Amino acid sequence: MVGGGVITIPRMTPKERAYATLEHREPDRVPLLEAWTSTIVIEKVLHRPFGGVCDFIYFYRTLEIDFVPVSSSGWQYRPVEQNVVMDEWGRKWQQKEGSLFGELGFYIDGTLKTPEKFDEFQFPSPLAPGRLDTFEAALKAVGDEYAVVGTLEEAIFEHAALQVGLRDFLSYMYKEPSFAHKVLKKHYEFSLELAKSFLDAGAEFILIGDDLADNHGPFMSPRLYKDFIHPYYKSLVQSLKKRGAKVIFHSDGNLIPIITDILDWGIDGLHPIQPGAMDILQFKRDYGDKIAIVGGVDVARLLPFGSEEDVVQAVVDVIKAVSPGGGYVLGSSNSLHSYVPDIDKYVRNVRTYIETAHKFGVYPIQ
Protein backbone atom coordinates (compact mmCIF):
# COMPACT_ATOMS: atom_id res chain seq x y z
CA MET A 1 0.00 0.00 0.00
CA VAL A 2 1.10 3.56 -0.60
CA GLY A 3 0.46 6.46 1.74
CA GLY A 4 2.11 9.86 1.41
CA GLY A 5 4.62 8.40 -1.04
CA VAL A 6 5.82 5.78 1.44
CA ILE A 7 5.31 2.09 0.68
CA THR A 8 3.92 0.31 3.75
CA ILE A 9 3.98 -3.42 4.34
CA PRO A 10 0.69 -5.13 5.21
CA ARG A 11 0.40 -6.21 8.84
CA MET A 12 1.84 -9.66 9.50
CA THR A 13 1.26 -12.22 12.20
CA PRO A 14 4.18 -12.78 14.58
CA LYS A 15 4.99 -16.07 12.83
CA GLU A 16 4.97 -14.42 9.40
CA ARG A 17 7.19 -11.68 10.79
CA ALA A 18 9.61 -14.27 12.14
CA TYR A 19 9.87 -16.10 8.84
CA ALA A 20 10.33 -12.89 6.84
CA THR A 21 13.14 -11.69 9.10
CA LEU A 22 15.05 -14.97 9.23
CA GLU A 23 14.82 -15.10 5.43
CA HIS A 24 16.28 -11.56 5.18
CA ARG A 25 13.07 -9.98 3.95
CA GLU A 26 11.72 -6.78 5.50
CA PRO A 27 8.66 -7.56 7.64
CA ASP A 28 6.02 -5.02 8.67
CA ARG A 29 7.98 -4.30 11.87
CA VAL A 30 11.08 -5.50 13.67
CA PRO A 31 10.15 -8.72 15.53
CA LEU A 32 11.02 -9.38 19.16
CA LEU A 33 12.56 -12.42 20.85
CA GLU A 34 13.20 -13.03 24.54
CA ALA A 35 14.95 -16.35 24.89
CA TRP A 36 14.41 -16.89 28.62
CA THR A 37 12.33 -14.98 31.16
CA SER A 38 12.31 -14.98 34.96
CA THR A 39 9.02 -15.87 36.60
CA ILE A 40 9.45 -12.78 38.79
CA VAL A 41 9.47 -10.57 35.68
CA ILE A 42 6.35 -12.34 34.42
CA GLU A 43 4.62 -11.77 37.77
CA LYS A 44 5.54 -8.07 37.75
CA VAL A 45 4.17 -7.58 34.23
CA LEU A 46 0.97 -9.55 34.82
CA HIS A 47 0.45 -8.27 38.41
CA ARG A 48 -0.28 -11.73 39.81
CA PRO A 49 1.56 -14.84 41.05
CA PHE A 50 3.02 -17.00 38.31
CA GLY A 51 0.58 -19.76 37.40
CA GLY A 52 2.53 -21.91 34.95
CA VAL A 53 2.52 -22.23 31.20
CA CYS A 54 -0.71 -20.25 30.69
CA ASP A 55 0.83 -17.17 32.33
CA PHE A 56 4.04 -17.73 30.40
CA ILE A 57 2.09 -17.58 27.14
CA TYR A 58 -0.06 -14.66 28.31
CA PHE A 59 3.11 -12.70 29.12
CA TYR A 60 4.31 -13.02 25.51
CA ARG A 61 0.87 -12.08 24.19
CA THR A 62 0.61 -9.09 26.53
CA LEU A 63 3.94 -7.62 25.40
CA GLU A 64 3.48 -8.75 21.77
CA ILE A 65 6.78 -10.62 21.65
CA ASP A 66 6.80 -12.52 18.36
CA PHE A 67 8.94 -15.55 19.23
CA VAL A 68 7.78 -17.75 22.12
CA PRO A 69 10.74 -19.98 23.11
CA VAL A 70 9.68 -23.00 25.17
CA SER A 71 12.11 -25.39 26.84
CA SER A 72 11.37 -29.05 27.37
CA SER A 73 9.64 -30.03 30.62
CA GLY A 74 9.46 -33.05 32.88
CA TRP A 75 13.01 -32.76 34.21
CA GLN A 76 13.82 -34.75 37.34
CA TYR A 77 15.57 -33.20 40.36
CA ARG A 78 16.35 -34.53 43.81
CA PRO A 79 17.51 -32.65 46.89
CA VAL A 80 21.08 -33.42 48.00
CA GLU A 81 21.51 -30.83 50.76
CA GLN A 82 19.80 -27.68 51.98
CA ASN A 83 18.76 -25.50 49.00
CA VAL A 84 20.78 -27.70 46.63
CA VAL A 85 19.30 -30.09 44.07
CA MET A 86 20.83 -32.49 41.58
CA ASP A 87 19.38 -32.80 38.09
CA GLU A 88 19.15 -35.98 36.05
CA TRP A 89 22.56 -35.26 34.51
CA GLY A 90 24.25 -35.30 37.93
CA ARG A 91 24.72 -31.53 38.02
CA LYS A 92 24.24 -29.65 41.30
CA TRP A 93 22.27 -26.40 41.43
CA GLN A 94 21.50 -23.94 44.18
CA GLN A 95 17.79 -23.26 44.26
CA LYS A 96 16.70 -19.66 43.96
CA GLU A 97 13.23 -18.23 44.00
CA GLY A 98 12.22 -16.56 40.76
CA SER A 99 14.96 -17.99 38.58
CA LEU A 100 14.40 -18.46 34.87
CA PHE A 101 11.50 -20.55 33.64
CA GLY A 102 13.24 -23.76 34.74
CA GLU A 103 13.13 -22.69 38.41
CA LEU A 104 16.82 -23.37 39.08
CA GLY A 105 19.38 -20.96 40.42
CA PHE A 106 23.16 -21.00 40.18
CA TYR A 107 25.22 -23.95 38.96
CA ILE A 108 27.50 -25.48 41.60
CA ASP A 109 29.34 -28.46 40.10
CA GLY A 110 29.09 -31.67 38.09
CA THR A 111 29.56 -35.23 39.30
CA LEU A 112 30.83 -37.12 36.22
CA LYS A 113 34.35 -36.47 37.40
CA THR A 114 36.29 -39.40 35.95
CA PRO A 115 36.16 -41.55 32.79
CA GLU A 116 35.41 -44.56 35.00
CA LYS A 117 32.09 -43.04 36.01
CA PHE A 118 30.88 -42.75 32.41
CA ASP A 119 29.78 -46.39 32.06
CA GLU A 120 28.13 -46.32 35.49
CA PHE A 121 26.03 -43.23 34.78
CA GLN A 122 22.40 -43.67 33.73
CA PHE A 123 21.92 -41.00 31.07
CA PRO A 124 18.38 -39.58 30.84
CA SER A 125 16.16 -40.09 27.82
CA PRO A 126 15.17 -37.15 25.60
CA LEU A 127 11.86 -38.96 25.01
CA ALA A 128 10.93 -39.39 28.68
CA PRO A 129 7.24 -38.82 29.46
CA GLY A 130 6.36 -35.16 29.95
CA ARG A 131 9.30 -33.71 27.98
CA LEU A 132 7.01 -31.89 25.54
CA ASP A 133 4.05 -31.06 27.78
CA THR A 134 4.84 -27.34 28.07
CA PHE A 135 5.78 -27.02 24.40
CA GLU A 136 2.63 -28.76 23.21
CA ALA A 137 0.48 -26.53 25.43
CA ALA A 138 2.14 -23.41 24.00
CA LEU A 139 1.84 -24.64 20.43
CA LYS A 140 -1.84 -25.45 20.90
CA ALA A 141 -2.50 -22.02 22.41
CA VAL A 142 -0.64 -19.73 20.00
CA GLY A 143 1.15 -21.83 17.38
CA ASP A 144 -0.95 -20.66 14.44
CA GLU A 145 -0.14 -17.02 15.21
CA TYR A 146 3.16 -16.83 17.12
CA ALA A 147 6.55 -18.38 16.37
CA VAL A 148 6.62 -21.05 19.08
CA VAL A 149 10.23 -22.17 19.41
CA GLY A 150 11.48 -25.52 20.69
CA THR A 151 14.45 -24.67 22.91
CA LEU A 152 17.50 -26.83 23.62
CA GLU A 153 18.95 -25.72 26.95
CA GLU A 154 22.76 -25.62 27.03
CA ALA A 155 22.81 -28.23 24.24
CA ILE A 156 26.13 -29.94 23.52
CA PHE A 157 29.25 -28.27 24.95
CA GLU A 158 27.84 -26.47 27.98
CA HIS A 159 25.68 -29.41 28.99
CA ALA A 160 28.62 -31.81 28.72
CA ALA A 161 31.08 -29.48 30.43
CA LEU A 162 28.74 -28.78 33.35
CA GLN A 163 28.07 -32.48 33.81
CA VAL A 164 31.79 -32.97 34.42
CA GLY A 165 32.71 -29.51 35.71
CA LEU A 166 33.91 -26.83 33.29
CA ARG A 167 37.57 -26.72 34.35
CA ASP A 168 37.83 -30.51 34.54
CA PHE A 169 36.15 -30.95 31.17
CA LEU A 170 38.48 -28.50 29.41
CA SER A 171 41.40 -30.38 30.97
CA TYR A 172 40.05 -33.71 29.66
CA MET A 173 40.07 -32.27 26.13
CA TYR A 174 43.87 -32.36 26.44
CA LYS A 175 44.63 -35.34 28.65
CA GLU A 176 41.68 -37.70 27.91
CA PRO A 177 40.25 -36.62 24.54
CA SER A 178 38.38 -39.90 24.06
CA PHE A 179 36.47 -39.32 27.30
CA ALA A 180 35.63 -35.74 26.30
CA HIS A 181 34.32 -36.98 22.95
CA LYS A 182 32.22 -39.69 24.61
CA VAL A 183 30.49 -37.13 26.82
CA LEU A 184 29.99 -34.66 23.96
CA LYS A 185 28.56 -37.41 21.75
CA LYS A 186 26.00 -38.31 24.41
CA HIS A 187 24.83 -34.72 24.60
CA TYR A 188 24.80 -34.38 20.82
CA GLU A 189 22.58 -37.46 20.57
CA PHE A 190 20.30 -36.16 23.32
CA SER A 191 20.00 -32.72 21.69
CA LEU A 192 19.32 -34.21 18.27
CA GLU A 193 16.57 -36.53 19.51
CA LEU A 194 14.96 -33.80 21.63
CA ALA A 195 15.02 -31.37 18.70
CA LYS A 196 13.49 -34.01 16.42
CA SER A 197 10.72 -34.56 18.95
CA PHE A 198 10.00 -30.81 18.93
CA LEU A 199 9.75 -30.93 15.14
CA ASP A 200 7.56 -34.04 15.23
CA ALA A 201 5.25 -32.20 17.62
CA GLY A 202 4.89 -29.28 15.18
CA ALA A 203 7.81 -26.94 15.86
CA GLU A 204 9.02 -24.84 12.95
CA PHE A 205 11.73 -22.96 14.89
CA ILE A 206 14.52 -24.30 17.11
CA LEU A 207 16.65 -22.24 19.52
CA ILE A 208 19.93 -23.85 20.57
CA GLY A 209 21.50 -22.41 23.70
CA ASP A 210 25.16 -23.13 24.40
CA ASP A 211 27.69 -20.65 25.76
CA LEU A 212 30.97 -21.23 23.93
CA ALA A 213 32.77 -18.04 24.99
CA ASP A 214 33.19 -15.25 27.50
CA ASN A 215 33.83 -11.57 26.79
CA HIS A 216 37.44 -12.24 25.77
CA GLY A 217 36.86 -15.14 23.38
CA PRO A 218 36.03 -18.86 23.18
CA PHE A 219 36.59 -21.08 26.21
CA MET A 220 39.04 -23.14 24.17
CA SER A 221 41.51 -22.61 21.36
CA PRO A 222 40.11 -22.53 17.81
CA ARG A 223 41.90 -25.84 17.21
CA LEU A 224 40.15 -27.57 20.11
CA TYR A 225 36.87 -26.02 19.07
CA LYS A 226 37.37 -27.33 15.53
CA ASP A 227 38.21 -30.83 16.77
CA PHE A 228 35.65 -31.20 19.56
CA ILE A 229 32.68 -28.88 19.03
CA HIS A 230 32.30 -27.97 15.37
CA PRO A 231 31.55 -31.47 13.95
CA TYR A 232 28.72 -32.15 16.40
CA TYR A 233 27.08 -28.78 15.82
CA LYS A 234 27.34 -28.93 12.06
CA SER A 235 25.71 -32.36 12.11
CA LEU A 236 22.98 -31.20 14.52
CA VAL A 237 22.09 -28.04 12.61
CA GLN A 238 22.19 -29.70 9.21
CA SER A 239 19.90 -32.48 10.46
CA LEU A 240 17.36 -29.90 11.64
CA LYS A 241 17.62 -27.84 8.47
CA LYS A 242 16.89 -30.93 6.39
CA ARG A 243 13.64 -31.19 8.35
CA GLY A 244 12.74 -27.62 7.35
CA ALA A 245 13.46 -25.95 10.70
CA LYS A 246 14.62 -22.39 11.18
CA VAL A 247 17.53 -22.55 13.64
CA ILE A 248 18.77 -19.78 15.95
CA PHE A 249 21.92 -20.30 18.00
CA HIS A 250 22.61 -18.58 21.32
CA SER A 251 25.99 -18.03 22.87
CA ASP A 252 27.22 -15.21 25.07
CA GLY A 253 30.70 -13.83 24.64
CA ASN A 254 33.08 -12.99 21.82
CA LEU A 255 32.58 -15.55 19.05
CA ILE A 256 34.59 -13.75 16.36
CA PRO A 257 37.60 -16.16 16.50
CA ILE A 258 35.27 -19.05 15.56
CA ILE A 259 32.50 -17.21 13.71
CA THR A 260 33.42 -18.61 10.28
CA ASP A 261 32.87 -22.14 11.54
CA ILE A 262 29.64 -21.18 13.30
CA LEU A 263 28.30 -19.75 10.05
CA ASP A 264 29.34 -23.00 8.36
CA TRP A 265 26.77 -24.87 10.47
CA GLY A 266 24.00 -23.21 8.45
CA ILE A 267 22.11 -21.49 11.28
CA ASP A 268 19.54 -18.83 10.39
CA GLY A 269 20.15 -16.45 13.30
CA LEU A 270 22.72 -15.70 16.03
CA HIS A 271 21.71 -14.50 19.50
CA PRO A 272 22.49 -12.21 21.37
CA ILE A 273 25.63 -10.37 19.98
CA GLN A 274 26.57 -9.48 23.55
CA PRO A 275 27.51 -5.81 24.15
CA GLY A 276 31.07 -5.49 25.39
CA ALA A 277 32.01 -8.73 23.66
CA MET A 278 30.97 -8.04 20.05
CA ASP A 279 30.01 -4.82 18.28
CA ILE A 280 26.56 -5.31 16.77
CA LEU A 281 27.07 -2.62 14.12
CA GLN A 282 30.37 -4.13 12.97
CA PHE A 283 28.79 -7.57 13.03
CA LYS A 284 25.98 -6.29 10.80
CA ARG A 285 28.51 -4.89 8.32
CA ASP A 286 30.62 -8.04 8.28
CA TYR A 287 28.02 -10.82 8.48
CA GLY A 288 24.57 -9.29 8.12
CA ASP A 289 24.17 -10.67 4.60
CA LYS A 290 24.88 -14.20 5.84
CA ILE A 291 22.86 -14.51 9.03
CA ALA A 292 20.01 -12.84 10.90
CA ILE A 293 21.09 -10.86 13.97
CA VAL A 294 19.14 -11.35 17.20
CA GLY A 295 19.57 -9.15 20.29
CA GLY A 296 20.94 -5.64 20.74
CA VAL A 297 19.39 -4.36 24.00
CA ASP A 298 21.91 -4.38 26.86
CA VAL A 299 20.53 -6.31 29.82
CA ALA A 300 23.66 -5.95 31.99
CA ARG A 301 23.70 -2.14 32.37
CA LEU A 302 21.01 -0.41 30.31
CA LEU A 303 17.87 -2.21 31.47
CA PRO A 304 18.77 -2.53 35.18
CA PHE A 305 20.38 0.91 35.65
CA GLY A 306 19.50 3.23 32.73
CA SER A 307 16.79 5.86 32.69
CA GLU A 308 13.71 5.35 30.54
CA GLU A 309 15.09 8.05 28.22
CA ASP A 310 18.34 6.06 27.93
CA VAL A 311 16.36 2.96 27.00
CA VAL A 312 14.31 4.76 24.34
CA GLN A 313 17.44 6.24 22.74
CA ALA A 314 19.35 2.95 22.75
CA VAL A 315 16.47 1.02 21.18
CA VAL A 316 15.86 3.65 18.51
CA ASP A 317 19.58 3.77 17.69
CA VAL A 318 19.97 0.01 17.26
CA ILE A 319 16.79 -0.27 15.18
CA LYS A 320 17.96 2.47 12.81
CA ALA A 321 21.44 0.98 12.51
CA VAL A 322 20.76 -2.75 12.22
CA SER A 323 17.23 -3.35 10.93
CA PRO A 324 17.21 -1.81 7.40
CA GLY A 325 17.00 -4.55 4.79
CA GLY A 326 15.58 -7.08 7.26
CA GLY A 327 17.47 -9.84 9.02
CA TYR A 328 17.20 -8.26 12.47
CA VAL A 329 15.29 -9.51 15.53
CA LEU A 330 15.34 -7.18 18.54
CA GLY A 331 15.85 -8.65 21.99
CA SER A 332 17.74 -8.33 25.23
CA SER A 333 21.40 -9.31 25.25
CA ASN A 334 20.75 -12.51 27.17
CA SER A 335 17.43 -12.97 28.97
CA LEU A 336 14.88 -11.14 31.08
CA HIS A 337 16.47 -12.31 34.32
CA SER A 338 15.70 -10.99 37.79
CA TYR A 339 19.24 -10.62 39.16
CA VAL A 340 18.89 -6.84 39.51
CA PRO A 341 18.96 -4.43 42.47
CA ASP A 342 15.62 -2.73 41.67
CA ILE A 343 13.17 -5.11 40.04
CA ASP A 344 10.44 -2.48 39.58
CA LYS A 345 12.75 -0.05 37.76
CA TYR A 346 14.04 -2.93 35.65
CA VAL A 347 10.56 -4.07 34.63
CA ARG A 348 9.59 -0.48 33.74
CA ASN A 349 12.64 -0.33 31.48
CA VAL A 350 11.75 -3.68 29.92
CA ARG A 351 8.29 -2.38 29.09
CA THR A 352 9.80 0.84 27.75
CA TYR A 353 12.18 -1.06 25.45
CA ILE A 354 9.34 -3.17 24.05
CA GLU A 355 6.96 -0.24 23.61
CA THR A 356 9.73 1.72 21.86
CA ALA A 357 10.37 -1.22 19.54
CA HIS A 358 6.70 -1.37 18.56
CA LYS A 359 6.61 2.38 17.95
CA PHE A 360 9.88 2.90 16.05
CA GLY A 361 10.45 -0.52 14.51
CA VAL A 362 7.86 -0.15 11.75
CA TYR A 363 9.15 -0.70 8.23
CA PRO A 364 10.28 1.10 6.20
CA ILE A 365 12.70 2.22 8.90
CA GLN A 366 13.07 5.99 8.80
pLDDT one-digit tens code per residue, 151-165: 998 899 999 999 999
pTM of the predicted model as reported, rounded to 2 decimal places = 0.95
What would the mean pLDDT of 76-98 be, rounded to a whole number? 84
Report the pLDDT value the prediction gives residue 3, as an integer from 0 to 100: 47
Residue 96 neighbours by CB under 8 Å, 6+ apart: 104, 105, 106
Residue 307 neighbours by CB under 8 Å, 6+ apart: none
What would the mean pLDDT of 9-36 be, rounded to a whole number? 96
pLDDT one-digit tens code per residue, 188-222: 999 999 999 999 999 999 999 999 999 999 999 99
pLDDT band at 269 (very low <50, low <70, confident <90, very high): very high
Report the pLDDT value the prediction gives residue 103, as an integer from 0 to 100: 52
Distance separating alpha carbons of residues 263 and 71, to the nearest angstrom: 24
Q: What percent of the chain has pLDDT over 90?
A: 88
**Phi, psi angle pair for 227, to nearest 5°:** -80, -40
263 in Cβ contact with 291 (< 8 Å)? yes
pLDDT band at 9 (very low <50, low <70, confident <90, very high): confident
129 in Cβ contact with 71 (< 8 Å)? no
Report the pLDDT value the prediction gives residue 101, as an integer from 0 to 100: 41
Query: Which domains occur in the chain, in start order?
Result: 9-360 (3.20.20.210)
321 in Cβ contact with 284 (< 8 Å)? yes
211: left (phi > 0), else alpha (psi -120 to 50), else beta? beta
